[in-house]
Amino acid sequence: MSTRPLPGAGPTDTQIPAGTTLFGVYEILGVLGGGGMGWVYRARHQQLSSLRAIKVIRPDLTANANMEQLFVREAKALMQIKHDAVVHCHDLLSSEGRVYLIMELVEGPTLEEILRDGPISTSEVRALMQRIGSGLAAAHALGVIHRDVSPGNIILPNGRADEAKLIDFGVAAVAAVPGQTIAGDFKGKLAYASPEQFGLFGGKVDARSDIYSLGLTLAEAASGAPIPMGETFYEAVEIRKNTPRIPPNVSAELQADILPLLRPDPKDRPQSAANLGAALPQAATRPARELKPDQEQDPQPAPNQPHWLIPLIYSASAVGFGLGLGLMVWLFRTAGTPPVPTPLAPTVAPAPAGAVVPTPPPKAVVIPSPSPVVKPPVTPPVTTLAGSGTVTRAQVIDTAAQLANFSWTCRDTNRHAACIRTVAYTSDWQPNESLTGEAYNWGGADSPTQFQRRLTMGLAAGSHKRHGVSRCTTGIDCSGFVAYCWGHQTGSHDFSTTTMGSLATRITGNVYRDLKPGDALNDPGSHIVLFAGYRPDGNPTVYEASGSAGRVIRNDRMTWRQLARYYPLRYNRLIDP
Taken in order of first residue, the domains within the chain and their CATH numbers are 12-104 (3.30.200.20), 111-327 (1.10.510.10), 393-571 (3.90.1720.10)
Assess contact for 570 and 504: CB atoms under 8 A: yes
Relative orientation angle of helices 207-223 and 122-141, to the nearest 10 degrees = 170
Give residues with Cβ within 8 angstroms of 210, minimum separation 6. Answer: 136, 139, 140, 145, 146, 147, 149, 194, 273
The torsion region of residue 566 among left (phi > 0), alpha (psi -120 to 50) and beta comes to: beta
Rounded Cα distance, 151 and 530, in Å: 28
DSSP state of 391: B
* CA–CA gap between residue 403 and residue 149 (Å, rounded): 42
182 Cα distance to chain centroid: 26
pLDDT computed for residue 236 by the predictor: 86
Q: What does each C-alpha distance from 326 to 230, 231, 233 come to in angstroms? A: 10, 7, 11
pLDDT at 67: 67
What's the longest Cα–Cα distance across the chain? 71
Helix, strand or coil, per DSSP, at residue 287: coil
Do 71 and 39 touch, CB atoms closer than 8 A? Answer: no
The pLDDT tens digits for 221-256 are: 999 989 988 877 888 888 999 999 898 889 999 999
User: Which contiguous run of DSSP H or E holds residue 141?
Assistant: helix 122-141
**Strands 460-461 and 473-474, how do they pair?**
parallel
CA–CA distance, 291 with 158 (Å, rounded to integer) = 10
d(CA 517, CA 63): 59
Distance from C-alpha of 440 to C-alpha of 83, rounded to nearest angstrom? 40
Distance CA 108, CA 110 (A): 7
CA-CA-CA-CA torsion for 380, 384, 389, 394, nearest 10 degrees?
-10
Any idea how long the chain is?
577
Cα angle vertex 419, ends 416, 423, to 5°?
80
**Do residues 4 and 467 touch, judged by C-beta distance below 8 A?**
yes
- DSSP assignment string, 339-387: SSSS----SSPPPPTT-----PPP---PPPPPPPPBPSS---SS---TT
Below-70 pLDDT ranges, the chain: 1-14, 33-37, 59-64, 67, 70-71, 74, 170-189, 278-389
* Cα separation, 175 vs 184, whole angstroms: 17
The beta-strand segments (E) located in 270-342 are none
Q: Are 435 and 551 in contact (CB under 8 A)?
A: yes
Cis peptide before 377 (omega within 30 of 0): yes
- Exposed / middle / buried, residue 251 (Cβ in 10 Å: 0-12, 13-18, 19+): middle
3-state SS class at 525: coil
pLDDT at 50: 87
Is 69 in contact with 62 (CB distance < 8 Å)?
A: no
pLDDT of residue 254: 93
Pairing of strands 551-555, 540-546: antiparallel
